Amino acid sequence: MVVDVKPGTRFGSAVCEAEVVVVKTPSGELDLRFGGHPAVPVGEEAPGGLTAAAGFDEGSLIGKRYVDSSGALEVLCTKSGTSSPSLGDELLVLKDAKPLPSSD
């Protein structure tokens, strides 16, 4: 399912309690997923009886930012869960922290 994704939009997982807020996104509609299943806008009813697909069950960590390989999509995990966020079949990865400048 392709959804309209804008910065500030919140999405949840249909397979666990994980939630994210979109921080940065390319314009247009995206195939945002959790556990291999379409993400559900927060406040909407999630379909029941789903489990995370193999490879999409590594989990989501609260307070961590996840990005796609191009860096165009960035989400912030606001509620941890057992499913992993992805853009289509591509898992989103933890964003690396920027190194602080040397104070020498």
Instruction: Dump pLDDT digits (tens) for 17-42.
Output: 999 999 999 877 899 999 999 999 99
Tell me the domain boundaries of the chain.
3-94
Give the long-range contacts of residues 88-95, CB within 8 A, separation 24 or more: 88/31, 88/33, 91/55, 91/56, 91/58, 92/66, 92/67, 92/68, 93/66, 93/67, 93/69, 94/61, 94/64, 94/65, 94/66, 95/64, 95/65, 95/66, 95/67
At residue 8, does pLDDT exceed 90? yes
Q: Structure pTM? A: 0.88
